[in-house]
Chain A
């Protein structure tokens, strides 16, 4: 990841007002108040550029891909391939055969867990995860461990929600075959030092899968340059539609893996008893793909590339710093996660006095402010932190300082309602 050109946190190079004009959904009021959308770690909004590209696809070019020889099928195939190419350009992927289009991060992790894990894991082998993983990077490995007899091991965190890297030396052994970690924690915003961990994992012969759901949208990630072997991400968290995402994998590993799903489009030749498989990436894309989703993903990739991911990161850091400063004014408000802003992304998880996060989210919704409350699909992490649930505000390129002020005002109102 290149973070060399980050602007100073006091300045933001983005014209958020101009960017907001690209997002029609942000123009509405909710419960009589202007919508303040701060649930971007869950899903992001879509710019006109993405909506228009998908609309044009369905109005003008829609057909099935790869097999037809007619004009519309040609256009649909071109559009699908172009979506993949644009996504590769955003993430620095030179070999587009290494980018498998999936339904999202969850499918990407399951693809590796099933196709690689069932083939390669033996009883006694170990898969190293961490306690801060999203359920989607825990449950697939639990299933595969049960099927193969492999053991799951876990990196712990410190009180600031940072991985205890000092334990890496003892946890990584010749038994470790896979290290699967979030790049950025969806619940706390912790940015994990993937490159350093990948070096240590490779030194013992383990592979590294990165859950990039929270880094692909927010950090200027050069995916192959990260030093990992697989990287999974979701489109809907980066301005693209739901139901599309990607899994990047090293070509030699993907070629050695058996298919995940069987069906049309992933074959070379089919006999009744056996088949040969298509070249990468088609080997892992069985069935009619999500063509419109790929078109949307490509448009989102172009949109983000046009704005510049360094600028987006700097903007989010600016909002994060301002938000943490303003939240500091609210009595009894505790912020979870790393104190050093360089170690976190634009996610602020917090609790406020004895007010349950779900009550907070309901009260904030009444003020038009959308946040997430709950366990964030990280129940083991919540247990580890000793909290039942947290409230979480998360930013993206279209959020503003004014919206942070509205969040703070709404939190003051929640305190008042609860008699503080």
Chain B
């Protein structure tokens, strides 16, 4: 990893999200709450969503983490808010590809600000930091589906 890789990760946009994260906090009446831990470093995230008809109407996250995980969570929350899970899926998939080193994904304009995290692909021990909030979002969708299935007596 050269200096430029570091500079590209620890750039102003990331640090701005780290210091002033969007949607940090907790919801009063969340529909789904997902705690998730990064076993590598012990960092954690608590993701809370309000969801109506598959659309994410409100989102908050709390917990402890590094600049990469906090910025990733903050940026994820901006992308997810107001969208349906269906609408978020392609973005999440593209982001995952970028973090795992897909160079075409790193140039994909659809990712917008999320491209600021492209340098993480060159920091293999930090991939989980960037993915933690997205993994939590994924888990939230699965939990809502399970809850829905239970309510309908399908389990």
Q: Footprint of B on A, CB under 8 Å?
A: 31-32, 354-359, 362-363, 365-366, 373-375, 379, 382, 388-389, 417-419
Contacts and interface: CB of A to CB of B under 8 A. Distances in A.
Given A356-B65, A358-B126, A358-B129, A388 B1 contact: no
A362 B40 CA distance: 14
Contact of A362 (B2, B6, B12): B6
Shortest 3 CB-CB contacts between residues of A and residues of B: A356-B66, A358-B66, A366-B6
16 contacts: A31-B3, A356-B65, A356-B66, A358-B68, A358-B129, A362-B126, A366-B1, A366-B2, A373-B41, A374-B42, A375-B41, A375-B42, A379-B42, A388-B42, A389-B41, A389-B42
Interface of B: 1-3, 5-7, 9-10, 12, 15, 19, 40-43, 64-68, 123, 125-126, 129
Contacts of A32: 2-3
A366 B43 CA distance: 22
A366 B42 contact: no
A400 B66 CA distance: 30
Given A362-B6, A382-B42, A388-B42, 12 more contacts: A31-B3, A358-B66, A358-B68, A358-B126, A359-B66, A359-B67, A365-B1, A366-B2, A366-B5, A373-B41, A388-B64, A417-B10
Contacts of B66: 356-359
Contacts of B68: 358-359
A403 B129 CA distance: 29
Of B9, B65, B67, which is in contact with the most chain A CB atoms at under 10 Å from its CB? B67
B110 to A, nearest CB: 27
B20 to A, nearest CB: 12
Q: Which of B6, B9, B65 has the most C-beta atoms of chain A within 10 angstroms of its own C-beta?
A: B6
Interface centre among A356, A375, A389, A419 (most CB of B within 10 A): A356
Contact of A388 (B6, B10, B43): B43
A83 B7 CA distance: 48
Nearest to A373: B41
A99 B6 CA distance: 47
A389 B19 CA distance: 18
Contacts of A382: 42
A356 B67 contact: yes
B2 A31 contact: yes
A388 B42 CA distance: 8
Nearest to B129: A358
B6 A417 contact: yes
Contacts of B43: 358, 388-389
A136 to B, nearest CB: 16
Nearest to A354: B19
A356 B64 CA distance: 9
A150 B67 CA distance: 43
Nearest to B3: A366
B10 A359 contact: yes
A46 B7 CA distance: 33
A363 B14 CA distance: 14
Nearest to B66: A356
B42 to A, nearest CB: 4
A355 B68 CA distance: 11
Nearest to A417: B10
A365 B10 CA distance: 14
A362 B7 CA distance: 11
Contacts of A419: 12, 15
B140 to A, nearest CB: 23
A32 B19 CA distance: 30
Contacts of A418: 10, 15, 67
A83 B43 CA distance: 41
A31 B1 contact: yes
Contacts of A355: 67
A388 B3 CA distance: 27
A363 B67 CA distance: 12
Given A32-B2, A356-B66, A359-B66, A417 B41 contact: no
Contacts of B5: 366
Contacts of A389: 41-43
Contacts of A357: 66
Nearest to A358: B66
